Amino acid sequence: MLSFNTAQHSVARVVHRLALMVMVALLLSVGATWADSFEDGAAADRRGDYATALRIYQSLAAQGDTKAEFSLGFMYARGEGVTQNYAEAVKWFRLAAEQGNAYAQFTLGFLFDDGQRVAQDYAEAVKWYRLAAAQGNAEAQSNLGRMYALGRGITRDYAEAVKWFRLAAEQGNAKAQSSLGSMYALGQGVAQDYVQAYMWFNLGVASGDVDGVKKRDMAAAEMTPQQITEAQRMTRECQQHNFKGCEVAQSQNQAPKQGSCEQTVEMHGFLSRGQFQCEFRYYAESMLEAAHECTSHMQEAEVRHWLDRGMRLYDFNESKRGHAAMCASLLADFPQILRK
């Protein structure tokens, strides 16, 4: 007969073995979950194994995975692994878009804008383009600019069109670069400027917009040889700066103008850069408060754009005038904002 202690040890060993078995089962369960990752579904999709991709996407989409919802929408839109069904595609795109997936938001915007697969609805297109654009999606920003320029689904506003074209153009979007060139050529939302127009057309062509060649040549017909040379120089500098701050070149020796919220944030970028570079100790609270108030009403991508634009403008001016001259100019021009 087993002693009490021996029996107790036997029970302990059994419990230990059971615990190990449970742990192994859990690990195997986790392994099965890993096997059904989105990456595995995407890999199956790429190699044409649509049945596997569909199974994985459906499983993950049921759990609210936005990438899987978006991919499932594309499978229905393309008719891969399922019968082509745009209504079902829109359903999955919408589920992903409502959870903040920028690609799904852009795709919904495009479908409602295009009107070939779903009923055309420009207002709905603008809604989804705007949400994707606010997240920095360059295609959505470009298309939103086009909607503002044409007045589709929203009141025509050339200044807003220019803003969104510029944000997309600075990300290297070829269509937006050419569109921004058109705005300069026509003087819509900006002062007419063939040099800037040529530069943006040239950048659009270099980025892949073949239609920009004809537009660039039309702008060149209105320019002097010196202007064309200047525009080509600006094109090269813009490419070197990855399309950021490209319109600063003609604003040398000038500070941003005050007025709109965009200009206030640009001014803040300019002056805060100057404060840092010149090591000034005082920066007016009123300027900080004005910039803060403006940024609370702006999209994050817009804030970054205008801050960066102001800082680049300062750097350009300093490169032309010199460090000491710029610091002295700041103290003379903005005595209420900056002090040593």
pLDDT at residue 2 greater than cutoff 50: no
Q: Per-residue pLDDT for 251 more than 80?
A: no
Q: What kind of fold does domain 39-99 have according to CATH?
A: 1.25.40
Q: Give residue limits of the domains in the chain.
A: 39-99, 261-339
What is the rounded average pLDDT of the residues 279-305?
83
pLDDT at 254 over 80: no
Structure tokens at 300: 């994050």
* pLDDT confidence of residue 17: 47
| Secondary structure class of 283 (helix, strand, coil) | strand
pLDDT at 302: 81
pLDDT at 248: 55
15-37 pLDDT, tens digit per residue, is 344 444 433 333 334 443 444 68
pLDDT above 90 (res 10): no
Tens of pLDDT along 33-57? 444 688 888 888 889 889 898 999 8
pLDDT score, position 256:
53
Whole-Å CA distances, 41 to 37, 51, 74, 339: 7, 10, 13, 59
Confidence of residue 320 (pLDDT cuts 50, 70, 90): low
167 contacts 159 by C-beta, under 8 angstroms: no
Residue 9 pLDDT level (bands cut at 50, 70, 90): very low
Please state whether 279 falls in left (phi above 0), alpha (psi between -120 and 50) or beta: left
For 117-161, what is each residue's pLDDT tens digit? 899 999 999 999 999 999 999 999 999 999 999 999 999 999 999
Mean pLDDT taken over the chain = 84
Per-residue pLDDT at 249 exceeds 50: no
pLDDT at residue 203 tops 90? yes
The confidence score (pLDDT) of residue 8 equals: 44
pLDDT for 5 beyond 50: no
Per-residue model confidence (pLDDT) at position 6: 42
SS3 115: coil
Helix (H/G/I), strand (E/B), else coil: 282: strand
pLDDT for the residue numbered 35? 46
- Mean pLDDT within 238-259: 66
Angle at 21 between CA 18 and CA 27, to 5 degrees: 145
Taking residues 205-215, report their average pLDDT: 94
